[in-house]
Amino acid sequence: MNAGPHSGPPPARPVASSVIMRILQVQHARFISRVFGGRRGLFWAAAALVAVSDQLTKHLFMVPDEASARAMVLVPGFLNLLKLPLSRGNLRAAFSWGPDWPVFYIVLTLLGLCLIGWLFVTTPPTRLRPYLALGLVCGGALGNLIDRIRFGVVRDFIDAHWMDWKHWPTFNIADAGICIGVGLLLLEAILQKEGNEAAAPEDSRAKGRQKGDAEPSAAKCSRTR
Q: In the 8-state DSSP scheme, what is residue 153?
A: S
Annotated active-site residue 156? The verdict is: yes
Beta bridge partner(s), residue 82: 71
Burial class of residue 165, CB neighbours in 10 A (0-12, 13-18, 19+): exposed
Annotated active-site residue 54? The verdict is: no
Q: In the 8-state DSSP scheme, what is residue 87?
A: G
Cα(6)–Cα(180) distance, integer angstroms:
67
- In the chain the beta strands, taken as DSSP E runs, fall at 62-63, 70-75, 79-85, 158-162, 166-167
Cα(176)–Cα(179) distance, integer angstroms:
5
Q: Which of 54, 147, 159, 175 is catalytic?
A: 175
Furthest C-alpha separation in the chain: 100
Q: Which of 156, 159, 164, 213 is catalytic?
A: 156
Residues that are catalytic: 156, 175
